[in-house]
Structures are given as structure tokens and as C-alpha cells.
Chain A
Amino acid sequence: MKPSIVKAKPADVLKDASMIKQKEMMAAHYERLTNAPETGEKVASTFVPGNLNELLMCFDLVNNLPEVNAIQSGLRKQSGQYIMEAERAGHSEDVCTYVKSDIGMMMKGNIGPNGKELPKPDVLLLSYTGCFTFLKWFELLREQYKCPTIFLQTPYMADGKVTPNMIQYMVEQFKETVIPTLEEVSGVKFDIDRLREYLKKSAQAEDDLVYILETGKNKPSPIDAYFGGIYYIGPIFGAFRGTDDAIDYYRFLREEVDERIQKGLGPVTPDGPMDEEKYRLVVEGPPNYTSFRQFWKMFYDEGATVVASSYTKVGGTYDYGFRHDPDRPLESLAEYCLGVYTNRSLPMRIDMLSDYINEYEADGLLINSIKSCNSFSAGQLLIMREVEKRTGKPAAFIETDLVDPRYFSAANVKNRLESYFQMVEQKRSGKGAAA
């Protein structure tokens, strides 16, 4: 069974059709997922970086993303209890809270955001891309679910380039391991033309996503590329890349953003349209989800817009030119995995952030360092100093966590942000050098 296509009402298109559309898509997806035991659809769990949604669709598998489930638990303020549940069961306080939220949720009945039990996966597609924790996470899930586990290794882009050896390794894994096992689990024969069709649709949506993200170069920026960006990347990083739904979503969003540009408006926040744009920031690192709105408010209350972020590139660096290519399907999937932000070397990340500051004419760099995430966090202090040195723009550092509420200290974060905005002001008024 294929996913039902949800259509937003035309009357909504000029207002917030994209938001309605995404809500409908997510609700339909979770319904499909939780109804899988009844409908007989098979479920594949996998990760956002290195997400092979088009390939999974070729086998009629429903894509379940534990990272997204953990984010949903964080946003719904349930992750704290899940994490403590996992820690009581012996998981260390030091490790990734996505993992512990997921495991704690499983221990508490695995209830999804729609209030229904999430199904057991029929297969774990361990796409080991840019994060070591993924490897252990799915070993932990395999221990519980005892289902087939497919391992796909994405070599790290340590020297800033993709080598033929890397591509060959990944394509061989697709051909010899990933595809045959997916065929076996699903009972569906692989059809490469079906994959080409999905990839064509992916590229179409990717064009619009890049257009939207790059509107951050406008003054004022019509989007917030971090807090708003989380919503914008949802469909394409999740279970919708390669679908008509994603194409529709990004078209609606593009129309909305164009309209805001024409009217000279800034981003839409939870408290309505943003007022004057005082600060333009580039942000590195994931956000905190347990106090997401409070965190965002600290920015828009001060007139700070995030014009570009690295987090919105964890599921693909499309703004650097990558598009899924139907003419080279497997090679293209390999290149996609190789290029995601967390699979890029530290010097590449520094280049990217420095480019963003220059191209988006930002006032500086803010790093939200996440306790749980060594893939992002290890090396960020050097990134900060190097970007500052190259761009001459001030940088600042705050520390929170993904979905562990114990590591979000609102007062500390607010203090640091306020100090940072003062630093930007000083820099603007020419006092920065003396400060």
C-alpha cells in the first residue's frame, strides 16, 4: 500500500498552506505507521542523516525515524521521563539523549505522538552516516526487536573529498547487502526505474528547499533558518523525500516566502510575524527541543533572526549543489549520504559556516553546543575561534541538550544571548576591537 496523498485546501495556500500541509502529512504518516500492524504494511526504522527514503519506498516500507520520535517526545515534554527510565535501566547519564529517550519510550509502551503504539520495526536500516552513536543505537534496538538489521557504512569525508573508493564501497553495499535484504524483508522485487522516479521527485523538492533556505540572504530575512528551519526541513529530511506531498509542501512554502519577501516581512514566529530585524545570525549545532519555544522567543524578542544554520544540513547539503540524480541512482544515494553535514570534516564545516556569514551578511556565529552529541560538539570551540578569525565577526557559545530538560538552563542561555547581542552592537559601533 502506498501513502495517501493529502491535499491542502486551495483557500489556505496564500496564508499558511505549508504549515497545514505539513501537519496533515505528519498526522497521516503517524497514522499509517501506527496502523501498520492492522494494514499489514512493513516498517523500516532508520536515521535522518543517510535517510534512504526513496529506496525504502521502492519496497513499500513505511519509514520510522527514531530521532524524529525523540524530537516529538522532547517537544511534548515527555522525553525527560523517558531518559530517566532508560538511565534507571542502566544506560549512562553521559550518552546521547535521543537514544535514551527512544529506549525509555519503548519501555513505557512506545506510544507515538498520535497517542497510539508505534509498531515494532520489521527491519532496521542502520545507515551509519556521520554519527558513531547510530551504530550502537541500532545494536540496542536489535537486541530488543530481534529483527533483521542492515548495515550501511558511509565513509567519513575526512579529506574534504569523495573518492572513487568511497563511492564503490557504498554502491557495493547497496547492491550486495541493502537491496537484497530489503527485497527479502518486504517481499517486493527491486525496480530501479521506480527508484529513478522517486529521485526525480526528490530533486524537484530539493530545488525549492534550497530556494527557500537561500531567501535568508534578503534583508529582512523572510525566514528563520534555524527555529523555522526545523519545520522547513521536516518533510525532506523525514519520510517524504521523493513524494508528491513533499513537492506540494515546498511549492506552497516557496509561495509563502515569496509573498513575505514582496511585502518586506520577516519570519513568522509562534507569537506572530517578527518585528524589526536587528541581528542576523548563523547558528551551528542542533536546537534544544524541550524548551523549543522558550529558546526561540529569546531570539525573536531581541529581534534576532537566524539567516543560515548548519543543523538544516544534517539531512543533506543541497545548497552546496547536491541533487538526487535519477540517471545515477545508487551513486547519487551514496553521494547524498557522504555529503551530509555531520559527515563533513571539521575544516569543511568551518568553510561552510564562514561562507554563510559572508554570503548571508550575518552579524556573527552562535554555537549551540549539545551535551549529547559528540558528532557535532567535539571541536566546536576551535570552529568558533577559526570562524571568528576568518570573518572578523563575533562568535558566542551556549550549551544545552537535545531532549534532556535537565540541561536547559533558561537563565544562563538568556544571559549569554544578551551579552552576545551587546557584543554585536559594540562591534557594529566600532568598539569591538577595544572590547
Chain B
Amino acid sequence: MTQSTSEIVARCEALYEDLSFTAAREWKAAKEGRKVIGYMPVYVPRELIHAAGMLPLGIMGGGDNLEVVHGDAYYQSYICRIPRSTIELGISGRLDFVDGMLFPSICDVIRNLSGMWKMLFPDTYSKYFDVPQTYKDEIGGTFYIGEMRELLRDLEQIAGHKISDDEIRNSITVYNANRELVKELYTLRAQVPWQAPASEAYLVIRAGLVLPVEEHNVLLRQYIDAVKAEDRPIKDNSKVVVTGMFCEQPPLNLIKSLELSGCYVVDDDFMLVSRWLIGDVPTEGDPVYNLSQAFLHHSMSTAAKYEPNQEEKGQFLVRAVKESGAEGVIFASTSFCDPALLDRPMLQNVLKEADVPFIAFKYAENSGQMQPIREQAGTFVDSIKLWSAA
């Protein structure tokens, strides 16, 4: 049955707002023995979880609809919000159906949260998932393969059965399709942003964090086809890239506010797990090796990742601007986010060299007051138009 854009987006928004993760609960309950493994930003190899027959569940904090009652008692005021809302999700029982949690290597806060999780939820499997920050095959690659094999052993124990290479290859195939569809959506948005606005694309991709990947692939296809079939009005907006939102997610209102203030967001770093690996991961040969190769040599750049080559520093952003046809960059960083805020001056220097205009502001996942952001972004767009005209 064909669904309209608004129906698809409404479904995705309902999934986004559901802090009880009903869809994932229902998936688990549908068949005995099913397991769910939660993961935090930025990246985990979801293929391994999928290959174990489990549902990878993206936990991106609590957003702006979650009242944090317990979580604040665990953190000082100068720590970002995502760990406190994640603890809130745990303590309030919203994650009581989750059989394991993965905390990827991203920053010291999420790293320490992995230990807190062990203390707070001793009966649930939890793992700090370390990834290499060195990219030579025989060094970082070997280490990463070792870390993935350890994760596989843990998953086998939880699943109660072995995970074969063929199962991993099949999972890589399904996730390759997912990456391809996400890429298609990003390309479409960059070309005709009025057809697929960022606030919608965000919800559609975010649905992939709570749905089985096969279902998400269908959803993505439906959305892309639906928006292509529609004729939506073009606005006098400026194309911008937003960066710095790779961990704690912005409230949906923030993305909508950027659009209302005259921005077409044509590239971003929301939910990078969906786009971390660039291109298809080969399905022939050792699948774990292939995943490691993709991580080392064909993956996205972000502030949580070390850039070994000074000449390459920040160039990913310049390329994103060029490829998406953007006219400027908005640095939107979570308050107290070490990776994003320490990286920002370096990226800004690169943009200055490349003559790309930018602005910067901070937010939290529960930011409610959008007027200052709207004013700042609106002024930025006006100034872009003035410069372009000059």
C-alpha cells in the first residue's frame, strides 16, 4: 500500500517521540528468544548484532520530551545532557527490555558512562566498544578485528548460538542497502531540499535506530518515492551544512527553527551511525576483516576521530560544502561537548581558508528557547545572500 509523505513522516515522528521504545519491545516480544542490544553514538558495527539475530537499538539520549528526575543526581552541571538522560531512561525502566548496551569510544563522558552502567545495571551486559584511532591495517586494523571478535564472542553468549561468517555477510548486504538508501536521501535533499526537508529526513533516518533494518529499508524507499512524486513549493532559503551534532541530538524544533529562519540544511552529522561507513562493504571474504577495512579507510570524519594528516584536517567539511552546494556552515555543538568544542576552532580556520562563511552556537537536547537561534541563523542567511549578491 502506498503511503503519503505525511503519513510516513507521522509514523517516524511517533517512533521518535516514543521513549518507551514500543516498536523495539514489540519486535522482541513477537518471537521467543529475541534479544535487543542498545548502542550509543557515534558508531558500532550493527552488522554484528544483526548477524546474531538481534535488534540493534540506537539510544540517542532522551531528547526534549523526557523529564530527567534521577539522571541529574549523577552529573555535575558542567557535563552535557545525553548521559544524564540516558541514565534516566535506564533507571526509569524504559530500557528494561534491552539485553545489552554498547558504549562506543567517543569521549570521556560516554567512556565513563560505560562503567557507571556496569555499576547501576550489573545484570545487563554492557561493553565499552573501543575503536582504533590509528589506521594502518597491521596495527589499528588488527586491534579492531580483535575488538570485533571479542564483541562477537559476547554476542554469541547472549544469543546462545554461534554466529557464522555467512550470517555476517548477509547482514553486511542488508546494511549496504540501508547505507545506499540513506545516501540517496541525502543526495536528493542536497539537490532539491524543498522536496525533502531536513526535519523530515531526520525523522525518517532516525526511525532506523529503532526499527529492524529490513523494515527501515522499505520505509526509506517509500519516503524517497513519495517526496519525489510530490510537488512542494521552493522557498528563498540558503543551503547550509550543520556540524557538531554527532552525539547528543538536537531537538526536532531546532532543525525546524533553522528551516523557518531560512536555511536548507543540505548536509549534517546527525546519527552518523547510519552513514559512518562510506560505500558498500564487500561481501566476499572475511566479513570482519571487511568491516575493519571499511572503518579504517572508508569512513566519515568527525571530531571524535583523530585526523593523522594535518593537510586533511577539516577538509571533510569543505568537501561536504562543495558536494552539497552549501553556501555556509553552522557549527551547532552541545554545551560541554569536548570533541566538538575543541575541534571547532580548527575547523573554522579551515573554512576561513576556503572562504566559507560560518556561525556557531551551542544547544542541549532539551533546549526549548529557539528564538535566539532563529535570529542568529536568520541573520546568517541574510548575510550569505548579501555576500552572494556582491
Interface set of A (CB-CB < 8 Å, partner B)? 89-92, 94-96, 99, 128, 131-133, 135-137, 139-140, 142-143, 146, 149, 151, 153, 155-156, 158-159, 163, 165-166, 168-169, 172-173, 176-177, 345-350, 369, 371, 374-375, 377-382, 386, 399
Contacts and interface: CB of A to CB of B under 8 A. Distances in A.
Given A158-B130, A168-B142, A143 B310 contact: yes
Contacts, number: 164
Given A136-B303, A169-B143, A153 B313 contact: no
B73 A381 contact: yes
A117 B100 CA distance: 53
A128 B133 contact: yes
B118 A151 contact: no
B339 A139 contact: no
Interface residues of B, number: 57
A235 B73 CA distance: 38
Interface in B93-112: 105, 107-109, 111-112
B136 A176 contact: yes
Given A96-B338, A158-B130, A173-B134, A91 B345 contact: yes
B176 interface: no
B335 interface: yes
Contacts of B130: 155-156, 158
Interface string B310-345: 100100000000000000000001011111011111
Most buried by B among A95, A374, A386: A374
B118 A132 contact: no
B368 interface: no
Given A136-B303, A139-B313, A382 B341 contact: no
B139 interface: yes
Contact of A143 (B116, B336, B346): B346
Given A346-B118, A381-B73, A95 B111 contact: no
A140 B342 contact: yes
B138 A172 contact: yes
A131 B112 CA distance: 11
A132 B338 contact: yes
Given A377-B76, A377-B79, A132 B107 contact: yes
9 contacts: A95-B342, A96-B338, A177-B139, A346-B119, A348-B115, A350-B119, A374-B109, A377-B78, A379-B115
The interface residues of chain A, by DSSP majority, are classed as: helix
B350 to A, nearest CB: 9
Contact of B344 (A90, A163, A369, A374): A90
A177 B134 contact: yes
Nearest to A372: B78
B338 A139 contact: no
A173 B142 CA distance: 11
A143 B335 CA distance: 24
B119 A132 contact: no
B127 A158 contact: yes
B311 to A, nearest CB: 10
B306 A379 contact: no
Contacts of A137: 342
A378 B139 contact: no
Contact of B142 (A131, A142, A172): A172
B7 to A, nearest CB: 41
B85 interface: no
Contacts of A139: 306-307, 313, 343, 346
A146 B111 CA distance: 30
Contact of B134 (A136, A151, A159, A349): A151
B339 to A, nearest CB: 7
A149 B308 CA distance: 8
A382 B74 contact: yes
B87 to A, nearest CB: 9
B79 A153 contact: no
Nearest to B305: A135
B313 A172 contact: no
A94 B115 contact: no
Contact of B345 (A89, A169, A369, A378): A89
Contacts of A369: 76
